[in-house]
Structure 1
């Protein structure tokens, strides 16, 4: 009798698991990590972008949506998850139509990323799954700290066209976690901004942090990072490469981002 009751309760719990649509690339990642496959009705237009989505291959199993409110409403999800800066008109229309919308902020710290993992796991009815994802991040933090030097080296996160991630960013939080300093403060960039080639060369951080190690400049944006002046002072041994898909969102993939940072710290010259 007890087994029968437990079986019925388990079936009822599974039946009650909410069906969800994601309209944001970062909530895609959380959903793919924490949901049962049959809970996912659709993902954002960028879910399969291998450059920005850590789980692009897994996302291919699910419908890729345009992100428009009408398309979402046709699927009749229990919950729509998205970023607080996802198209406001779409979010407001969904709410006006009585749709439950859960909004997630952009994260700037590891603690904020952990909080979002907990939030998504609770929404999905799987709070126990958050613990494993958070434990992976904590373990990666420990490994990365062990790899960092006792000397606080400076790193400049440099992207296309000279974009620098400032102190108020997730990239900076990852660097701080492993005992590295974001050199962006020397450029007066708190939240981030564009820096000239001359300013970067004059700053002379210990390392550059880039998102790809290819030596091919497919356009002017990429050519900035490959400029001869930067290559002279920052050969591969002075460049730390962490793919953008590991850091564009704050989610379970931060464990992989930290492990990649650890590998790079071991590789480069110090």
Structure 2
């Protein structure tokens, strides 16, 4: 059967999320996670549906893409389709040719699983590489140390505080309590938790959202941030430990996170919380 590109719409989002859950495996390359869709859901269900692409053969989803920005396509590919030539050629053609409506002409990036055939085909099409990212993993088979600070699970009554910490942690962020409420209505949030860490004076100093993909599968931290006024005091390590413990409680086999390799402070924070770096990865990049 021919590979078919589609936009699932709101009704098909559940199938895309379910496929992403099924494909998460500790032995597989790190790729698009249901939590990535969950974090995007802060923009609303309609926007999320419009940003998702699926590639199917004979009705079965072989790949899921998220347009995480106007010129960034983030991909997950079914483990048994990573070397599927027909699927790879269709994905690369759809990403490379602007008239197909996936990526615009000019500068563009594609995040794809390490080892997937699409990398070879992007090279043949003249795509290079973007800046390196470090992916890190923490095994959750053993208990996680206590974070040493007060941690609260965020509900509707803490959404405003969570949003304030997030804005103070990320330059240019416009995240609001309304965004948190929209995110919390999304399908992936049924297996997620947002956490706040507090200092000794009772001020919220760090935030994180963790996303389970189901028992026995890797979970994701997305995003984690420390308030700009409270950095350098160990709060990043504390909230990261709390995140790992929350995922373990949800049944996750491991905790995953990614950050630009140039962000050495973030890499050091995750490493201090027991995460182990994996080999660096790079998005595929096309200049304008």
Structure number with greater Rg is 1
Q: TM-score, normalised by structure 1?
A: 0.28
Q: TM-score, normalised by structure 2?
A: 0.26
More strand by share: 2
Task: Give the number of the structure with larger relative contact order, counting CA–CA contacts within 8 Å between residues 6 or more apart.
Answer: 2
